[in-house]
Amino acid sequence: MKNKRGYFGIGCINMKTTHNYGTLFRTAQILEADFLFTIGAKFKPQASDTMKSWKHLPVFRYDTFEIFQECRPYDCRLVGIELDSKARPLKNYTHPERCMYLLGAEDVGISREVRDKCNDLIVLPGERSMNVAVAGSIVLYDRISKLK
């Protein structure tokens, strides 16, 4: 067993393309996430998750953001990954010891109401929105490279 401090999970709100969360969840397992979650969209196993991450990591499903907020672990920061003028660039971001990373739907991202409830917002380089699975994978890689 590894000797590590803290934990992290990653998930999506109102996903429309389930193939994306399948790919993201497979990468999250490889990059040592502790759990996965969906908000709004029902989870179902995806062919893009060739490792069947749901067999190895807990997958939490929340019908609404309000229910998700009620169930968030104590002292666990919510980090939104979004194109937003208030977001900090990923290259300058210090990842929290305990957090949940949140990605939005492919076409609309994270709603303003949800962004306002995030403890932190981070943005990746570039002027345009990335694929959800790619964006989440980059953030998780950044986390493990900075914390090791």
Q: What is the CATH number of the domain that holds 45?
A: 3.40.1280.10
Residue 2 lies in a domain: no
User: What is the pLDDT at residue 1?
Assistant: 43
Residue 108 lies in a domain: yes
Q: Write out the residue range of the structural domain in which residue 40 sits.
A: 7-147
Residue 85 lies in a domain: yes
Residue 90 lies in a domain: yes
Which stretches of 44-135 are assigned E, i.e. beta strand?
59-62, 77-81, 88-89, 98-103, 120-123
- What values do phi and psi take at 133, rounded to 5? -65, -40
Instruction: Give the model confidence (pLDDT) of 74-96 as tens digits.
Output: 999 999 999 999 999 999 999 99
Alpha helices in the chain (DSSP H): 18-30, 65-71, 112-115, 132-147
Instruction: Give the model confidence (pLDDT) of 6-49 as tens digits.
Output: 999 999 998 877 667 778 888 999 999 999 999 997 666 666 66
Number of domains composing the chain: 1
